[in-house]
Structure 1
Amino acid sequence: MRFTRKLFNGIAISAIAAAASLGASATHAADKITIMVGGYEKQIYLPAKLAENLGYFKDEGLDVELLNEAAGVDAENQLLAGAVQGVVGFYDHCVDLQAKGKFVESIVQFSQAPGEVELVSTKHPEIKSPADFKGKNLGVTGLGSSTNFLTLYMASKAGLQPGDVVTVPVGAGGTFIAAMQQDQIQAGMTTEPTISRMLKTGEAKVLVDMRTVDATRQALGGTYPAASLYLESSWVNEHKEETQKLANAFVKTLKFINTHSAAEIADKMPKDFYVGDKDGYIKALEEGKGMFTPDGVMPDDGPKTVLAVLSEFSKNVKGKQIDLSKTYTTEFVKNAK
């Protein structure tokens, strides 16, 4: 009898321990948040890797995994498929997706300017403005991407028809550079550090600059909220606590950017992001870090500018009623610690 009781107690304790272990494992799995970044080596998406390297996710008790994806449109697809919980990408996807009946919202607005530049190959001096795009191949990160939206808008604003230009998906970094070197594209939209790399070699020059708020207003007619953390609205409603913690981490990151020099920020980034030229990386960041918001709050005139751009040519958005209030929220950034 004593043996049986001892055996029973042992089995019970083992069962409780196993259940506790299983529960802890399940909790850990549930707490893990996977965020896909539309190219985390791009300076426009710098807050994602910076937040991780500063330890701000861990400070909030979050287990965040960052995944890299070259084109924002592919990151968007991963979110809708349920493969990831969040995307660091352009806010305009939130507008475009609502037109398709999908509801996602920007939780933290990283930037109020695209941070993009339209580069033109120095082999093609005949291209002096977007009006000269007719008959040219124009590089974009991906078809349906934000760079595709903006490129077509610039062409449209210059009086060209959609069939007058061909947008070619060439990604960023080395693939973009190779496409321009091989004349597969004659101009293209890209970000830092790709911009500085091409300017340094003299293979390209800047045609349209959207790295600052003022330059963006001139090019697009208003501020253009771009890089952001966006999540499915249904996930936000079901995970208020986790969403708030993500907002806390990113608002702290934006404050770090706003209060530190480009050199200090660069020191926190992975060395391979410099692409062998740390000085160039720092210089580009010095010139472009003004695009970042200081607090993650959506600029008042931003959503309207984005809607105007998409309504101009996008078959998805044109003629649709878009409720901009459902494409972003300032609730979490305003409550951030």
Structure 2
Amino acid sequence: MDLDFSEDQEQFRAELRTLLEARLPDDWVGIFHGPDDYLDLSFDVTREMAERGWLTQTWPEEYGGQNASNWRQVVLQEEAWAYFEPRGGQYMGVNWIGPAIIEFGTDEQKAKYLPRIAAGDVQWAQLFSEPGAGSDLAALRTKATPSGDEFVINGEKIWTSYGDFAEFGVLVARCEQGSERHAGLVVLLIDMSTPGVEVKTISTPLGKHKLNSVVFTDAVIPADAVLGTPGNGWRVAMASLAFERVGVARYARSTRILGELERLPEADRPDIRRDIAGALASARVAELMSYLVVDMKERGEVPTWQGSAARVHNVTLEQRVAAIADQVLGTSALADSHDTWAVEGGEIEDFVRLAPTGTVTAGAYEIQMGIIAQRGLGLERIR
């Protein structure tokens, strides 16, 4: 595996950094904590990326891509994550929703949805988790009852990021009466403005747009919204999650925060310098584990447990870095971007605030460890 980026890829990195430095304000820490107009700014920057041909480079040309190397997309992912994701939630459309539609969608679905994702002009919501089915997705109970050429949806989804302004959603529901676990599921591409779909904001310290619940009450969705085939929803959902888990370069932000901490006068202590050095080494390991997954994809191989291993290492690294920030700054680490005392424009506060959630989102730590144990180590389940 060649770990050196090409001259063209490094040139792309330089151009991308120039754009982000020019377009993002000094107090930018993403769309969750800034002024309301930061959401509009996020859309503007994402559209500009699309206009430059940067957004969906690895997609096939027929769907708005360039058939580019996965490594070129890695450059975009690293810089976007280090700069607190200027695409807002649109990275989901690029990383996993679009690829899932390319793999499982009908020609009509591809024509309807892919151009807008490629243009950086649409937000989607992931409608998977439920109050009783978070980490254990197979326990979901939301019903998609067939009715002629439609499905009638009843149930609730929770922890839905971007749900308060998403136009469309990817919904997993149970379409076969009496089915259990992985059987009898369907994936539907839904219009979030459909009557009977109600989005409720969940207020948390994580910021606006971050968490919502979505309640379905006799919401009617046409049958042509099915992604894949009814009853085969588990396979479609798992393929989508596989795209999602390897699409975020979390190590890039951890490395950025470690660099900011290293430059602080408070870090000039032997114990702190030792901890930062150890975390930087761990960040390099996280980077290499992620690169292994990219290399497998580039060679046409399908990662089975490697993406989970990379994610586990990345999210535990984030919590390690957050602990160092607390040690270096104490309560000063909690001054956010609105506070004149904020360190590094509030970047460290935002990182510390979100770090505990990493072991829960996009597949809990325990679920990822189970995947590694079964698929990577060949261990048997005991229950």
TM-score, with length taken from structure 1: 0.31
TM-score, with length taken from structure 2: 0.28
Point out the structure with max Rg over C-alpha.
Answer: 1
Higher relative contact order (CA 8 A, sep 6+): 1
